[in-house]
Amino acid sequence: MSTYTEKIREISQRLLKECKVEMVIGFRQGTLPMMNEPCIVRKPEEVERLVWDSNCGINLANYLTNRKEKIGVVAKGCDSRNIVTHILENKIKREQLVIIGVPCQGMIDKRKIAAGVQGEILSVAEADGEVTVQTAAGAQTFKKAEVLQQNCSVCTHRNPVIHDEMVAEPVAEQTGVDPYADVAAIEAMSAEERWKFFEELLAPCIRCYACRNACPLCYCPTCFVDESKPQWVGKGQDPIDVRTFHFLRAYHCAGRCTDCGACERACPVGINMRLLTKKLNKDCLALYGWEAGLAEDKRPALDTYKANDPENFIH
């Protein structure tokens, strides 16, 4: 992993020195363990701030929206797919970007680590597929595969789909994983059970909109939840309003979501709202053979018409 950091710094320095880009967006060490933050570097001598490890789960495509500068951006598989989506939606131009591709082997779920140790986490280090967590009580080691974010453990697009530079050779993609097993489990329930399931799932939501803000797809100038004339959805914690919010948020991501997991990662109460977006991803794949952000020259499923589009839901 440290070779990734070296390589990212080296490429960033070169790009900045040669004035190929005005800034590089990457990650820097967070003030707390496992909380790496997005970081914008504008000067070649500042590249030492950039780092890379398995705590870079935030989606950097979110920081590109409507930018006018020439930007170098560090991108793992899911970020690169979101960058493609951004390009398709005219939120950034391909010519503006130098994409520094990072083959990704999954990001650590900090909640899984926190649940596994006692007391405050002082530092986290990783080597050879193992994660060592230092607490006041002592050190504890986890297998990285066991503490991955759920979306990373079923990810089938680990390598960037577009890139100008690569920091390492592509990693092997996972095969034999079923990304939609959890959605299928819910589909198998009765309407009654499903209603209850989501009631419990969404009950802790405090409507902080962290999931919306972390999402690279949510760039509307005024979000529907902030509109007051007309007011589409109440602002309180009424269960129906919460459900409406999550439903519409997921729906706005239909055919665009790359399951990067930024929403779930950002959620302060740990709601797995990805189940909703994933259901739409699953349907998009089944109905239109579409997965978001895989090619720059294909229009998204929901803005193309094909004569054989499914229409069995219409009377």
Partner 1 sequence: MKNLLELMGIEADRIHFSWISSAESTKFVKVVNEITAKVKALGPNQRFVKQAAKVA
Partner 2 sequence: MSEWEPKIVSFLCNWCSYGAADLAGVSRMEYPPNVRVVRIPCTGRMSPKFALAALREGADAVWVSG
Binding site for partner 1 (CB under 8 A): 183, 186-187, 191-198, 231, 234, 238, 240-241, 243, 247, 250-251, 276, 279-280, 283, 313-315
From the list partner 2, partner 1, none, pick the one residue 19 interacts with, judged by a Cβ distance below 5 to 8 Å according to partner type: none
139 Rama class: left (phi>0) / alpha (psi -120 to 50) / beta: beta
Residues in contact with partner 2, shown as a per-residue x/- string from 58 to 97 under the rule CB under 8 A: ----------------------------------------
From the list partner 2, partner 1, none, pick the one residue 232 interacts with, judged by a Cβ distance below 5 to 8 Å according to partner type: partner 2
In the range 228-267, which residues lie near partner 2 by CB under 8 A?
Answer: 232-233, 240, 244, 247-248, 251
- State both tokens at 244: 């409406």
Distances (CA, A) of 8 to 27, 77, 255: 10, 15, 31
From the list partner 2, partner 1, none, pick the one residue 17 interacts with, judged by a Cβ distance below 5 to 8 Å according to partner type: none
- CB-CB contact of 288 with 298 (8 Å): no
* CB-nearer residue toward partner 2: 201 or 248: 248
* CB-nearer residue toward partner 2: 248 or 285: 248
Give the three-state DSSP class for 269: coil
Pick the closest to residue 276 from 254, 239, 250 (CA basis): 250
Beta strands in 70-177 (DSSP E): 71-75, 97-101, 121-127, 130-135, 138-143, 165-166
- CB-CB contact of 305 with 252 (8 Å): no
- State both tokens at 19: 């004035």
Q: How far is the CB of 229 from partner 2 (least distance, A)?
A: 13
* CB-nearer residue toward partner 2: 189 or 232: 232
From the list partner 1, partner 2, none, pick the one residue 117 interacts with, judged by a Cβ distance below 5 to 8 Å according to partner type: none
Task: Quote the CA–CA distance of 38 and 49 in Å, as a whole number.
Answer: 11
Judged by CB under 8 A, the residue of 63, 197, 219, 224 near partner 2 is 224
Q: How far is the CB of 198 from partner 1 (least distance, A)?
A: 5
* CB-nearer residue toward partner 1: 62 or 151: 151
Q: How far is the CB of 202 from partner 1 (least distance, A)?
A: 10
Site for partner 2 contains 117 (CB under 8 A): no
Q: How far is the CB of 230 from partner 1 (least distance, A)?
A: 9
Task: Quote the CA–CA distance of 22 and 73 in Å, as a whole number.
Answer: 11
- What are the φ and ψ backbone dihedral angles of 96, each rounded to 5 degrees? -75, -15
Angle at 130 between CA 126 and CA 134, to 5 degrees: 60
- CB-CB contact of 79 with 87 (8 Å): no
Q: How far is the CB of 270 from partner 1 (least distance, A)?
A: 20
* CB-nearer residue toward partner 2: 175 or 228: 228
Pick the closest to residue 145 from 130, 125, 127 (CA basis): 130
Site for partner 2 contains 209 (CB under 8 A): no
Residue 274 CB neighbours (<10 A): 25
Q: How far is the CB of 247 from partner 2 (least distance, A)?
A: 6
* CB-nearer residue toward partner 1: 20 or 194: 194
Residue 196 CB neighbours (<10 A): 12
Q: How far is the CB of 279 from partner 1 (least distance, A)?
A: 5
Give the three-state DSSP class for 212: helix
Task: Give the binding site for partner 2 (CB under 8 A).
Answer: 224, 232-233, 240, 244, 247-248, 251
